């Protein structure tokens, strides 16, 4: 049976493709979802893609993830830099987690250079735009098949 991967997206990522193309590219989140599902099919992974602007909803999804999924990929948006709640939820979640960012957060404002998610993620992929999600799926497939 195919391994199942949950991809969580945080606040304002639903606005992708509408503004700030110089920072985040021209792709919409729906475009990234289509490519992630296709890459998942190719890798033998069943991918589910979700987005919420609400911290509590993201925490609930992380808490529930281990019941139905084998792997978690998270772009927590701005909550990356603020959310101890998401850090705690990921810490107690028994499945591996990869952090993704479209932009290279280390080249941006100082407040974006710290990530609570990085403290508990297996690794972080940032700076490759929407392709970062596909890279994270490649890594997930490798780790799950080990
Ligand atoms: O680079 C990333 O993926 C981020 O997680 C994106 C977040 C940002 O707060 C993080 O520091 C880095 C923001 C996503 C908001 O995207 C927008 C796109 C178009 C218009 C407005 C917001």
pLDDT, residue 43, reads 98
pLDDT, residue 125, reads 98
Token pair recorded at residue 30: 């729906």
For helices 84-91 and 55-68, angle between their N-to-C axes, nearest 10 degrees: 10
Q: How buried is residue 85: exposed, middle or buried, by Cβ count under 10 Å (0-12/13-18/19+)?
A: middle
- Whether 137 has a pLDDT exceeding 80, the answer reads yes
Residues known to be catalytic: 24, 101
Residues with CB under 6 A from ligand 1: 12-13, 15-16, 18-20, 24, 75, 77-78, 80, 101-103, 105, 112
* Residue numbers of the domain that contains 11: 3-144
* Nearest in space to 73 (alpha carbons), one of 135, 131, 138, 5: 5
Q: pLDDT tens digits for 36-65?
A: 999 999 999 999 999 999 999 999 999 999
H-run or E-run covering 36: helix 29-43
Q: What is the CATH number of the domain that holds 69?
A: 3.40.50.9100
Q: Are the CB atoms for 123 and 139 separated by under 8 Å?
A: yes
Residues in the chain: 146
- Whether 146 has a pLDDT exceeding 80, the answer reads no
> pTM above 0.75?
yes
pLDDT above 90: percentage of residues in the chain: 95
Token pair recorded at residue 104: 């290279």
Q: Which mutation among 77, 98, 115, 129 tests ligand 1's pocket best, with the greatest number of atoms within 8 A of CB?
A: 77
pLDDT, residue 107, reads 97
- Report the alpha-carbon distance of residue 92 to residue 71 in Å, rounded: 14
pLDDT above 70: percentage of residues in the chain: 99
What average pLDDT does the structure give for the chain?
97
Q: Are the CB atoms for 16 and 51 separated by under 8 Å?
A: no
* Nearest in space to 7 (alpha carbons), one of 63, 75, 53, 92: 75
E strand intervals along 1-146: 3-9, 45-51, 71-75, 97-101, 123-126
- Report the alpha-carbon distance of residue 28 to residue 31 in Å, rounded: 5
Domain count of the fold of the chain: 1
pLDDT, residue 104, reads 98
Question: Mean per-residue pLDDT for 6-25?
Answer: 94
Residue nearest to atom 20 of ligand 1 (CA): 19
């Amino acid at each position: 049976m195919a391994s199942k991967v949950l991809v969580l997206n945080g606040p304002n990522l639903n606005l992708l493709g509408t503004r700030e193309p110089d920072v985040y590219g021209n792709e919409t989140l729906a475009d990234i979802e289509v490519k992630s599902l296709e890459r998942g099919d190719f890798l033998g992974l069943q991918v589910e893609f979700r987005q919420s602007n609400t911290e509590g909803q993201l925490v609930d999804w992380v808490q529930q993830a281990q019941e139905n999924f084998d792997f978690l990929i998270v772009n927590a948006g701005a909550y990356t830099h603020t959310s101890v709640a998401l850090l705690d939820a990921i810490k107690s979640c028994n499945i591996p987690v990869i952090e993704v960012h479209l932009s290279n957060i280390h080249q941006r404002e100082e407040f974006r250079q710290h990530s609570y998610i990085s403290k508990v993620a297996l690794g972080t992929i940032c700076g490759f735009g929407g392709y970062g999600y596909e890279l994270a799926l490649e890594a997930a497939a490798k780790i799950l098949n080990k």
